[in-house]
Structure 1
């Protein structure tokens, strides 16, 4: 799944030979630089869902088994989520603009290879390469926004657009996937990345300022334990969703994740330049925000996955119709993300962090009422509108609050951690939902097409109850832990949302 740094620009103490000999871009380049960064973010986020509507065509064309087909989605999330922390720290050391351009170049080549794939193995290898490219590029996006926009108000608006891409990118992927699959064929969900990737790769070095690099050495021990731990955790969620939570391999994955992530914390406490500075997690507000982001992402991705299935398999919509059915979800997400940066400085983040998740939760609770007689207009559309408004007004204030007052030298790690929470949350929400869905549909509700429809509806409503439960926990975390000590003020030098 994700999802946002806000720091005060400051001079770096890195040695002079590490400073890039690049003049800051003129103000007229700011909007173009932002467009390039947002395009990068949209590419890596929507690729997690743009393929989902094309899965039936992929299976037919390449001969995937039913079990193997799930890996077209899962292997991207596994690679992306597992390498994000490493990508964030690498950007701090080797240059964030350089990593963004290099990561998108790899992502673009992998997309071309995926579109040309003729066997399941070729497509899966291309998806792995896409995940690596995304993990290299994504953590640098927010740090580059901070370096480009030094005025607090402009920066808040830029981060609002970025958060809209993060929150709405998955929905855009569903719409775009439906259009491409219906008008052309499944290969274009891969090919569509190529022209945009080329534009980002060419323009990034020309319009984006390279922030001062931090120098130092890559924490290899931390990289190995963090990457191994995240891969084991995400794979554990994927295994839980497909074969169950109590199988030996699933439990082994979770045990390995606990051991490796514990080792990672011990390593980070001892090294001079950690991959993830633990100070990012010692602040109560920030730690609670990370936890809430994971839970919100889990609720969102669970909703995307199951409502997509219901629209096509339950209501009989075509891929294109199913994609456009998500438009009422995308519009309020983007509207909320655009309005929130203007309202947070006036009223503070706290009202939004308490009120907006309740809208999101209400939308999910309405979806728990899905049954064999539910229609799109009466049963799905109102839920999407509420869910979209809640997501749009949650993501921006939460992003600003989580990463306010982060030091420049830690911005890459902080951004990588936040996006790791989003990807792990997406895997968690999908796994929990599929487990509930499988249990609920084990005994069919009847025979024939009507029975299949009723069984599907019952499974979806049960899965949505799990997503609603995750949203409830997120609300409790936000209410108890994420309490910014002061409202934001326009022009505040270090923070838009305030921090404890």
Structure 2
């Protein structure tokens, strides 16, 4: 009886230990993801307080994304070589300190440097977080649930960032101290990041290290190549694909990545082993996770603007409008983590991407016809937005869990960090490319309509009133946004096609550990 009681106590302790491990990993991932959007609503206040030019203001957001996206491969490999828990902790501490510097910034240069420093910390912590799930949780239901929580944090992070950013920006004091609200969007990360890092040794085991095997030439060319590619793609969204620096940056990035791949095929300990891509299921997961976030960016970027600009919602109300997305994604992630034990990932992710494509198509039907009264153009949240927000959220929840699981399944133990880095890189580069392509589509539509309306007004000799100009601007923006949503739906369908055709792994195999080729016992 005593032995049974002791065994039950041990099992309970192990479960509690895993719960706390997942809490730490989830908090870190949520913090890293939401920081990509949390400052968006605060940008006008940041611009005013630090006297940042309109041209440079976008670097508050882009600087973080650039450092994050370009350093992910290096961050993932550093975890494999020097210990994933150690790199996870270092990343969180760097992130926390950088957030403190950004929140206390007194000029533009310090803020932009802090945001890039944050991106570096995130690039260390995020791949390590995903790899720690793989090495901490046993294959099967426990790991599937952990991946569901991780995927939910990755998916809802952008929406939570908008909500939290809107609320914090509206504050003017904390604990009786006067403080600009935008600073809180950065300062909030400091205690969370550092406390999480300090608790990590208690709940997360360290992986074995392989110091001295860092591929320095690969690290330099790979990082600079990704930096050039992400910068060029991001610049294309604002300056156009024909811009000289856009072309130069993308060309240099592609050339450096070609050199990087050449180096990787020759060195003994490559930064990115080609065996990571050798598995068909894993490669398909990477490609699908490239296109799906690219499409999802359309919803957050354009729908948040539509809700505030056209529907007239305040920043905090706009953030609340995305709450159903968070709820739906969390519910869907939980459901898919249970279904993945009985249904193949191709079916779950395939249905999920189709649902998400349907949600984006629904957004593309928002009214923008110039013959409609203005009240009809503003749309109804309950009928024109909410159904498709929920459809999108359930679709992404059904997509992220199986694809995250299949992307890192059957990796060698020594490759889990770089595999996680590749997955995160695909999401970041895909998101940047998707947003730039969507911006190109929307801008082209907007420019064509502006030119058309301008010609018509000149021909008729009519001068629009300020109210008419505002209505027309709403109509024109909505027309551009709906075209972007439609293009986003096409990108999501590409992700769906890749999933249905190439993701052939069976659900029984996901309950096994070990590298590809290991025997699978079903029973």
Q: Does TM, normalized by the shorter one, top 0.5? A: yes
List per-residue Cα deviations over 1:416-468 (Å, max 9, x = no partner): 00000111111112111211221111133574221111111111111112211
The secondary structure found in structure 2 opposite 1:51 is coil
Task: Work out which of the residue numbers 388, 411, 417 in structure 2 matches 1:412.
Answer: 417
Q: Report the secondary structure of 2:242's partner residue.
A: coil
Q: 1:232 aligns with which of 224, 228, 231?
A: 228
Query: CA separation in 2, counterparts of 1:182 and 1:339?
Result: 36
Give the equivalent residue in structure 2 for 1:488.
508
How far apart are residue 199 of structure 1 and its match?
Answer: 1.3
Which residue of 1 is the match for residue 7 of structure 2? none
The number of residues matched between the two structures is: 474
1:104 to partner: Cα distance? 0.7
Larger Rg: 2
| Matching residue of 2:185 | 189
> Unpaired runs of 5+ in structure 1?
1-24
1:499–1:306 Cα change, 3 Å: farther
Cα distance, 1:494 vs structure 2: 4.5
Which has the larger displacement, 63-72 or 323-332?
63-72
Aligned match for 1:140, one of 111, 128, 142: 128
1:61 aligned residue: 49
Contact residue 92 and residue 214 of structure 1 kept, 8 A: yes
| 1:310 to 2:306 alignment | yes
Deviation at 1:307, TM superposition (A): 0.7
For residues 326-360 of structure 1, what are the alpha-carbon distances to aligned partners after superposition, in whole Å with 9 as ceiling and x for unaligned? 01111111111111111111112121122111100
Counterpart CA distance in 2 for 1:132 and 1:357 is 31
1:274 partner SS: coil
Deviation by residue 1:249-289 (Cα, 9 ceiling, x = unmatched) = 11111211211111111111111111111111122221121
Instruction: Indicate whether 1:170 and 2:158 are aligned.
Output: yes
Query: 1:43 is matched with which residue?
Result: 31
C-alpha distance in 2 between matches for 1:434 and 1:58: 24
Is residue 466 from structure 1 mapped to residue 466 from structure 2 by the alignment?
no
**Is residue 476 of structure 1 aligned with residue 497 of structure 2?**
yes
TM-score (norm 1): 0.91
- CA displacement 1:31-86 (0-9 Å, x = unmatched): 11211111111111110011111112212222222221111111100000000000
1:349 counterpart (329, 345, 348): 345
Report matched runs for 1:120-135 at 5 Å.
120-135=108-123
Query: For the residues of structure 2 that align with 1:115 and 1:181, how far apart are their CA atoms?
Result: 12
Cα deviation 1:90-130 (Å, max 9, x = unaligned): 11111111111111101101111111112111110110110
Distance, in Å, in 1 between the alignment partners of 2:215 and 2:298 is 34
Give 1:491 shift: 4.6
Q: Is the 8 A contact 1:346 1:489 kept in 2?
A: no
Deviation at 1:146, TM superposition (A): 2.2
CA contact (8 A) 1:107 1:134 kept: yes
Q: What is the alpha-carbon distance in structure 2 between the residues aligned to residue 472 and residue 171 of structure 1? A: 23
Normalising by structure 2, we get a TM-score of 0.87
User: Which of 58, 72, 77 is residue 70 of structure 1 equivalent to?
Assistant: 58
**Alpha carbons of 1:465 and 1:289: their partners in 2 closer, same or farther (altered >3 Å)?**
same
Could you tell me whether the CA contact under 8 Å between 2:412 and 2:514 is conserved in 1?
no
- Written as runs of structure 1 = structure 2, the 5 A alignment for 1:260-409 is 260-372=256-368, 373=377, 374-409=379-414
1:431 aligns with 2:436: yes
Using the TM superposition, name which of 430-439 and 39-48 deviates more. Answer: 430-439
Once the two structures are superposed, what CA deviation does each residue of 1:466-499 show, in whole Å capped at 9, x if it has no partner?
A: 2112112111211222222x23368534599x99
Partner in structure 2 of residue 22 of structure 1: none
Using the TM superposition, give the Cα deviation of residue 213 of structure 1 relative to its aligned residue in structure 2, in angstroms.
Answer: 2.1
Q: For 2:409 and 2:201, how far apart are their aligned partners in 1?
A: 27
